[in-house]
């Protein structure tokens, strides 16, 4: 170890090159020791790893020094009546926020009391949007016209790069001499960003060759990836999924300790009017809380919580109570690739019965999206109820906030 540390100190060996000379476990230990010495900070807890390291250093994490552990709890069971998720589930949530899991758990109890959550996926497509430069607005129009007239050619080029990706949509827009093309793909059980990036590159090469437009960037930010954007709110990205439940007045009073009129008014004045007044792109109470906790537990890309928070919560009056629903226009999830193969995250996916590829392809990722949507609905119900009953501060005080 000392020889490697000496080489790191004198610069003859780079931190990222340790795995070229050592097994991952040893490379990580030496890198961590070097960082401890450089910063004067003990990293013994970070070094306590329970996950297999060989695959992680190749696929998931460069310059690895260990792991950060996030507590995982469960909420539920919750009954879900989806097209892909049908049954009862315990939801794994990774969080350090006291009261969150208790809140979701209460919402799950209410949903189950009501007979389960209705869940449906309305759209499924991962997007990538290259940006091209043209010579003039006339040239820009020629490029968009060519794209519209050659959908089949573009599709063949893009799909030649993947076994599972299928081009499902092409949209174009312009800004002066810039042309943006938003490609949407079905990606099976993968979240699919890498898949669609490679496919989009092939399609963009064809367009450049045939139209003379210069490809400036494979992502022109009209995708839109990991940034709050109205285009995702309107057109969707990943899974567009809704979950809803019919609650009687008696259920609301018994479980949430409030009444349906108060629930409806809190949602209108907070989630809808308050969000509009703030210029928010999300019209909900705490959707990001549940999306983040389930994403971290299940090996999803946590940066996509940005898209996952674009949620609209509605409360509709019905003769004997209310129908509460959530719509998540942009929920990018997958059950293969990324962090889904890491041991702890794979266990959480197995807990939900969605680990790996589904049969038929895509069924596991859609099932996961439906389960997450039901979890978001549970969180919204509980927080709206707590606000309507003026219980929010008390709950956080009791549960350690």
The predicted structure's pLDDT at residue 41: 85
Second-level CATH architecture of 130-217: 2-Layer Sandwich (3.30)
396 is catalytic: yes
Interval 317-370: pLDDT, tens = 999 999 999 999 999 999 999 999 998 899 999 999 999 999 999 999 999 999
Q: Give me the pLDDT at residue 401, please.
A: 52
Query: CATH: 3.20.190.10, 3.40.50.300, 3.40.50.150, 3.90.770.10. Which one for 72-124+233-398?
Result: 3.90.770.10
What residue segments make up the domains of the chain, in order of their start?
2-59, 72-124+233-398, 130-217
Q: Please state, for a pLDDT cut of 90, what percent of the chain lies above it.
A: 86
Residue 396 has pLDDT above 70, yes or no: no
Give the model confidence (pLDDT) of 172-226 as tens digits. 999 999 999 999 999 999 999 999 999 999 999 999 999 999 999 999 999 999 9
297-315 pLDDT, tens digit each: 999 999 999 999 999 999 9
Catalytic position from the list 36, 171, 301, 347: 301
Catalytic residue among 26, 97, 118, 171: 97
The predicted pLDDT at position 39 comes to 86
Q: Is 393's pLDDT higher than 60?
A: no
Token pair in block for residue 354: 């969605």
Average pLDDT of the residues of the chain: 94
Q: Radius of gyration over alpha carbons of the chain, in Å?
A: 24
d(CA 48, CA 30): 14
**Section 75-95 average pLDDT:** 95
Active site residue 301: yes
Q: How far apart are CA 323 and CA 81, in angstroms?
A: 15
pLDDT at residue 114 tops 90: yes
389 vs 46, higher pLDDT: 389
pLDDT band at 400 (very low <50, low <70, confident <90, very high): low
Fold identical between 72-124+233-398 and 130-217? Answer: no
The answer to whether residue 97 scores a pLDDT higher than 70 is: yes
- The yes-or-no answer on residue 246 being catalytic is no
As a whole number, mean pLDDT of residues 61-85 equals 93
The single residue of 150, 164, 391, 396 carrying the catalytic annotation is 396
What pTM, to 2 d.p., does this model score?
0.91
């Amino acid at each position: 170890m000392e020889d490697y540390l000496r080489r790191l100190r004198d610069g003859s060996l780079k931190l990222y090159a340790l795995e070229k000379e050592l097994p991952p476990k040893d490379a990580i230990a030496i890198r961590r020791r070097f960082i401890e010495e450089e910063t004067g900070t003990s990293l013994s807890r970070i070094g306590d790893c329970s996950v297999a390291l060989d695959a992680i250093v190749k696929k998931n994490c460069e310059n690895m020094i260990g792991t950060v552990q996030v507590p995982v709890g469960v909420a539920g069971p919750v009954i879900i009546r989806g097209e892909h998720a049908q049954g009862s589930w315990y939801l794994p949530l990774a969080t350090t926020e006291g009261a969150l899991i208790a809140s979701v758990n209460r919402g799950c109890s209410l949903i189950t009391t009501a007979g389960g959550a209705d869940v449906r996926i309305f759209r499924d497509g991962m997007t990538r949007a290259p940006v091209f430069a043209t010579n003039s607005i006339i040239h820009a129009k020629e490029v968009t016209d060519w794209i519209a007239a050659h959908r089949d050619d573009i599709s063949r080029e893009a799909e030649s790069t993947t076994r599972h990706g299928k081009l499902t949509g092409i949209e174009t827009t312009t800004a002066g001499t810039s042309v943006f093309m938003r490609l949407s793909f079905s990606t099976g059980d993968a979240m699919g960003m890498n898949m669609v990036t490679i496919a989009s590159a092939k399609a963009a090469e064809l367009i450049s060759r045939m139209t003379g437009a210069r490809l400036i960037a494979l992502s022109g930010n009209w995708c839109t990836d990991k940034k709050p954007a109205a285009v995702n709110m309107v057109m969707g990205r990943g899974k567009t999924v809704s979950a809803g439940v019919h609650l009687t007045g008696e259920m609301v009073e018994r479980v949430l300790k409030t009444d349906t009129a108060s629930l409806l008014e809190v949602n209108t004045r907070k989630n809808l009017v308050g969000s509009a007044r703030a210029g928010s792109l999300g019209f909900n109470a705490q959707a990001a809380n549940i999306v983040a906790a389930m994403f971290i537990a299940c090996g999803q890309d946590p940066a996509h919580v940005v898209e996952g928070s674009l949620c609209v919560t509605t409360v509709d009056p019905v003769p004997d109570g209310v129908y509460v629903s959530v719509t998540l226009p942009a929920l990018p999830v997958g059950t293969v690739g990324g962090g889904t193969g890491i041991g702890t995250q794979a266990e959480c996916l197995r807990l939900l019965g969605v680990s790996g590829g589904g049969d038929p392809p895509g069924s596991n990722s859609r099932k996961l999206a439906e389960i997450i949507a039901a979890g978001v609905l549970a969180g919204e119900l509980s927080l709206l109820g707590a606000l309507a009953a003026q219980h929010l501060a008390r709950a956080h005080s009791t549960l350690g906030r």
